Amino acid sequence: MSCIGNTIFPEGGTEMLTNKTIYIVTTGATKVKSVSMLLNQFKQEKANCVLIPTSMSCSMMDWDSINGFNIRKDYAGEDSENLPEEDIVVVAPCTFNSFSKIAHGIADNYPMSILHAAIGKNKHVVIAPAMNYWYFNHPLTKENLSKISSYDNVSIVYPEFIYSSDGKLEKITMAPWEKIFDNVCHKYEKIRYIDRKILFNGSSLVEKYFSEFSLTGVHLQENHYANSTAGFMAMRIPEGILITCSGSLVGSLSRDDITIIHGWDNHEVLWSGTSRPSSETPLVLEMFEAFPYKTVIVHGHCRDVTYSPKTLKYNSLGYLKYGEWNELYKIKPVLEAYGKGIMKLHGEVIMANNFKEALNMYFDMYKETQ
């Protein structure tokens, strides 16, 4: 096998946010006290951060933790005309009040004016609601979610539902900062691992197993276990790992959507095929290493399962960072116990000996929500 090309990504990240200007609009929810966690993640990825707090969030801010960051509170000041143009705007935390303003175009303060202008300029906007159960269950919130979700350039990071061990809802809180960060990164680059394409004619291998992948994908789509490009399928074979490529439509796969992974020494993924392997490849490979007796892995996004209080036993210990190595430990105990699990706020993973068994395990998981 000989190399025919390389993706040039330095160790530790793809530099997808390098020199991107990110406006972080904060509103008056208690989560604002820890916004430095998000700012520091962006800073580590070499992004230019501009913090734009509402007056209420200013009263709650931990100012020592954000010392050194660019902060803009209003239009006043000699540098007001030198605000760098945004590439993306993040609203986190976003209160019930601010969420309603976004839905109804109310720009009655500096942060909301900046935000609405960004929406009008078709900039990427990521909103993370932070409100309690009563506000989130308000009829207007449901209307606002529908309205804001209809904006092509706006995405909503849904909040986390916290349940007690007996399945009783204790509270609703903003999604983890890591998930908000992942959502921003996903706007620019789906692949976050280092990889190298190699020369290998694997058409006969793909042909041999294609029908299994295709039929499984159709089943996942028809049963709403996976939608659009969300989710993947992977199979261990003697020659390596067959896996759906990043961005493939699992419900209508073509042969070009199947990629072969040949090795991953030192976390460099060697692959052949038309397109790069799934963005979740690091997790897949670590699972196959940790569970050598399993042959297939299926990942889906069934909201009824992911967020059900009846499937709490399958939840990972924490949020798994999107597409990164060394995250398996957060869900490994669950996989050891059940052979399947729920990545917190990120969907299900099923391990099995074949795809038919995996689908049956997924269906059993779904039945538990009924």
Q: What was the pLDDT predicted at 78? A: 47
Angstrom distance (rounded) from CA 26 to CA 95? 9
Name which CATH class applies to 194-367: alpha beta
Integer angstrom CA distances of residue 284 from 21, 65, 231, 290? 32, 36, 12, 10
Q: What was the pLDDT predicted at 228? A: 66
21-186 belongs to CATH 1.20.1250.20: no
SS3 call for 114? helix
Q: What was the pLDDT predicted at 81? A: 62
The rounded percent of the chain whose pLDDT value lies above 90 is 79
Model confidence pLDDT, tens digit, residues 214-256: 999 999 988 888 776 678 999 999 999 999 998 888 889 999 9
Model confidence pLDDT, tens digit, residues 76-117: 654 556 789 999 999 999 999 999 999 999 999 999 999 999
Angstrom distance (rounded) from CA 74 to CA 51? 11
pTM of the model: 0.86
Kindly state the helix (H) or strand (E) to which residue 207 belongs, with its residue range.
Answer: helix 203-222
Over residues 315-340, the mean pLDDT reads: 95
Over residues 152-156, the mean pLDDT reads: 94
Question: Do 17 and 188 contact (CB within 8 A), yes or no?
Answer: yes
Question: Do 295 and 236 contact (CB within 8 A), yes or no?
Answer: yes
Q: What was the pLDDT predicted at 23? A: 97
Which residue reads 């070009």 in tokens? 256
Angstrom distance (rounded) from CA 359 to CA 226? 12
Integer angstrom CA distances of residue 265 from 100, 190, 261, 274, 338? 49, 21, 11, 21, 29
* β-bridge partners, 263: 270
In the chain, domain spans: 21-186, 194-367
Phi and psi (nearest 5°) for 190? Answer: -80, -30
Residue 8 confidence (pLDDT) above 90: no
Q: What was the pLDDT predicted at 9? A: 34
CA angle 318-322-324, nearest 5°? Answer: 95
SS3 call for 223? coil
Decide whether 21-186 matches 194-367 in CATH topology: no
Q: What is the mean pLDDT of the chain?
A: 91
Q: What was the pLDDT predicted at 166? A: 82
Asked if the bond preceding 53 is cis, omega within 30° of 0, the reply is no
Model confidence pLDDT, tens digit, residues 31-87: 999 999 999 999 999 999 999 999 999 999 999 999 999 999 887 654 556 789 999
Model confidence pLDDT, tens digit, residues 349-369: 999 999 999 999 999 999 999
Exposed, middle or buried, 369 (CB in 10 Å: 0-12/13-18/19+)?
A: middle
Query: Buried b vs exposed e over 214-249: b needs ≥16 C-beta within 10 Å?
Result: bebbebbbeeebbbebebbbbbbeeebbbbbbbebb
